[in-house]
A and B are shown apart, each in its own frame.
Chain A
Amino acid sequence: MPNAESTPEILYDQQLESTLASVDASEEIAKSLASQLGYDEEETYHIGYAVREAVVNAVVHGNLYSADKRVRLLIERASPWLQVTVEDEGQGFEESRQADPLADENLLSQSGRGILIIRAFMDEVAIGRSASGGTRILMRKSLPPPA
């Protein structure tokens, strides 16, 4: 069973403030862990980018920068995946209601491309609800082969 998943090993689990400083910190944490796990430079960039976009969405669109709300960033090794979960305490997000950023009429929109890029950079992405009713995004990327 090459795809059998083992019990996840928590590499990072924190409740972050809804600030841009948390966005920068999340990107750096994700890149650092990815590098330690043996991802190459480009894959590490992709993981850091996806985490940054997910935390931006949580801080800006989910929690609306509220000082009373937190963003959970959970990073796990769940072989064969690196698994990242980002949860906010907002009102939730319905991806199906979002305008298609690749439609010709939306190409000049200023926003709405974050999820598209996350999906391009990660292997699996699932968007749902957190326990609080906010948004949970789960992102997976295949772990690099052992050195």
Chain B
Amino acid sequence: MSLKLTTRQVGDVTVVDSAGRITLGEGSSAFRDTIKGLVNQGQKKILVNLGEVTYIDSSGIGELVSGYTTVSNAGGKLKLLNLTKRVHDLLQITKLYTVFEVFDDEAKALASF
């Protein structure tokens, strides 16, 4: 399954619902383009919902980091919601759990911005 990205606005937070695989190629470039597009539109509060993401390779992890940096450099915040166990494990292995703010509850995530 390729990556499907849908954005929705909840107050001043843009939620990016992601489903499928974020891997080198179309998946990672689609994710990058979406985040950059939101930043270019002036969105500074971005919540990436990974609940339906079944697989992220190291390139996809790199795109999460790149998105985080892009949003941070624009003065905004990018946070993560609903990690699967596999994505959670990857963030532990790569120590990125110390970088990202991660939430299991959307309401709490939205309130944290």
* CB atoms of B99 and A110 under 8 A apart: no
Contacts of B66 in A (CB 8 A): 110
Contacts of A110 in B (CB 8 A): 62-63, 65-66
* CB atoms of A111 and B69 under 8 A apart: no
Mark contacts of B21-54 with chain A using CB atoms, 8 A cut-off: 1 yes-contact digit, 0 otherwise. Answer: 0011100000000000000000000000000000
* CB atoms of B68 and A108 under 8 A apart: yes
Complex-state Cα separation, A45 to B89, whole angstroms: 13
A123 to chain B, nearest CB (A): 15
Say if the beta carbon of A109 comes within 8 Å of chain B. Answer: yes
Contacts of B24 in A (CB 8 A): 20, 23, 56, 60
Say if the beta carbon of A25 comes within 8 Å of chain B. Answer: no
- Say which one of B7-15, B90-98, B104-112 lies at the interface with A: B90-98
- Say which one of A9-17, A112-120, A135-143 lies at the interface with B: A112-120
- Quick one: given A108-B69, A110-B62, A111-B62, are A116 and B57 in contact (CB under 8 Å)? no
Q: Can you spell out 8 A-B residue pairs with CB atoms less than 8 angstroms apart? A: A108-B65, A111-B58, A113-B62, A113-B94, A114-B58, A116-B93, A116-B94, A117-B58
Contacts of B23 in A (CB 8 A): 52
Question: Closest chain A residue to B95 by CB distance?
Answer: A102
For B, the interface residue count at a CB cutoff of 8 angstroms equals 21
Say if the beta carbon of B3 comes within 8 Å of chain A. Answer: no
Contacts of A52 in B (CB 8 A): 23, 57
Complex-state Cα separation, A116 to B93, whole angstroms: 8
Contacts of B57 in A (CB 8 A): 49, 52-53, 56
B98 to chain A, nearest CB (A): 7
Say if the beta carbon of A99 comes within 8 Å of chain B. Answer: no
B90: contacting residue among A23, A56, A117, CB under 8 A:
A117
Say if the beta carbon of B88 comes within 8 Å of chain A. Answer: no
B94: contacting residue among A45, A53, A101, CB under 8 A:
A101
